[in-house]
Amino acid sequence: MDQRKASNAKRGGAPTSADVARLAGVSQATISLVLNGRASKVRISEETRKRVISAAAQLGYTPNHAARSLRQRSTKIITFVLPTLENPYYSDIVSAAQIAAQQHGYAVSVIPARTKPGEFHALSLLQGAAFDGIVVAGRENCAAPELLQLAARGVAVVALQERSPDPSIYSVSVDLEAGGYLATRHLIELGHRRIAHVMEELPRPDTWRDRVDGYRRALAEAGLPLDPSLVVITENSMAGGCKAIEQLLLDRQRPTAAFMYNDQMAVGALHALRTHGLRVPDDFAVVGFDGLAMGQFTAPPLTTIDHPRRDIGRIVIETLIGAIEKGSLEVKQHLLPVKLLVRESCGGLEAPNQKP
């Protein structure tokens, strides 16, 4: 051990950053940069980084973030509250958000919060917790009173893919109604007349523009009736999509196409059709929603509505960091466009407008 100077650790107190700097033979600034995870940003070598960490471990030195965050009122952490980790939809957004956050010196964490009432209230856990901003998705979470309280306390909040529950809360969404319209219109243009829509149960009466509104608009525009027996509510999963299609196939006036709530449900739909010996797209056409990578690998590859998930992640972070650092921003609500991504599950690639 270094004997040159009496250290705080040797005097019996807790070791200090100066003690670690002496043992590692580097400056206190280097200690701070390494232990706060900023070594790679300022080109500190891997060898120095390891020496600092080893010295800190040897002395039992702890840079106390909890104390620091009380002092600085800044943690450089942005927390996502998501209803599920199971849908890759969110992982694409978080991944893009993480890249954008890193460029601004922020880190990202995720709290998975199931959103069925009474099951799990993630937001109540966040009261006073250590982060600078939160991104919240899921209807129950976005409607929680805790969200307003966080915003009132000055925490920067962005609602993701949900109507903002309060004008003071920022939101970043894609245009779900336009997506529903594009999906349904594509099927109509291919000659389909009985088009089903398989959707998730919406837990609160909602005037928000959702997929089903676009479905209605496209039908109305084409002069087609809205047959309520063709709108099926199911569980938001592959298995749910599978069950919904099986139900639709029992209909005496069987539909010839379905617009599915998301790509996961569409994977279940393709499976149900295959199991019943129906060929896609010849006997039955399917459109998904989201544009997940898996849609390239289904049998057949899935026509879907593509969301700009990378843009969503980036804009969420830019909005939050803007709000954190500038206090307030002009644009409160972002609504991003979607686009139709034509693959093989509708027959739209081969011969548009040829279907009877």
Interface with its own copies includes 69 (CB under 8 A)?
yes
Interface with its own copies includes 278 (CB under 8 A)?
no
For its own copies, the closer CB: 70 or 226: 70
Interface with its own copies includes 268 (CB under 8 A)?
yes
Interface with its own copies includes 29 (CB under 8 A)?
no
Interface with its own copies includes 279 (CB under 8 A)?
no
CB of 350 to its own copies, least distance (A): 16
CB of 133 to its own copies, least distance (A): 15
Cα–Cα distance between 160 and 145 in angstroms, integer?
16
Q: Per CB under 8 A, which region of 12-20, 56-64, 163-171, 186-194 contacts its own copies?
A: 56-64
- Per CB under 8 A, the list member of 8, 18, 28, 65 interacting with its own copies is 65
Interface with its own copies includes 32 (CB under 8 A)?
no
CB of 268 to its own copies, least distance (A): 6
Q: Per CB under 8 A, which region of 128-136, 163-171, 173-181, 182-190 contacts its own copies?
A: 128-136
Interface with its own copies includes 56 (CB under 8 A)?
yes
Residues from 298 through 317 that contact its own copies (CB under 8 A): 298-299
CB of 214 to its own copies, least distance (A): 26
- Per CB under 8 A, the list member of 29, 42, 70, 331 interacting with its own copies is 70
Q: Per CB under 8 A, which region of 35-43, 162-170, 317-325, 347-355 contacts its own copies?
A: 35-43
For its own copies, the closer CB: 224 or 249: 249
Interface with its own copies includes 39 (CB under 8 A)?
yes
For its own copies, the closer CB: 122 or 187: 122
Task: Reply yes or no: is the peptide bond before residue 117 cis, omega within 30 of 0.
Answer: no
Sequence-ordered list of residues with C-beta below 8 angstroms from that of 322, at least 6 positions apart, any chain: 329
List the structure tokens of 243.
């069950």
Interface with its own copies includes 149 (CB under 8 A)?
yes
- Per CB under 8 A, the list member of 122, 136, 244, 320 interacting with its own copies is 122
List the structure tokens of 130.
């250590």
Interface with its own copies includes 143 (CB under 8 A)?
no
CB of 125 to its own copies, least distance (A): 4
Mode of pairing for the β-strands spanning 107-112 and 77-82: parallel
Residue window 87-116: x/- pattern of binding to its own copies, with contact defined by CB under 8 A: -x-xxx-xx--x---x----xxxxxx-x--
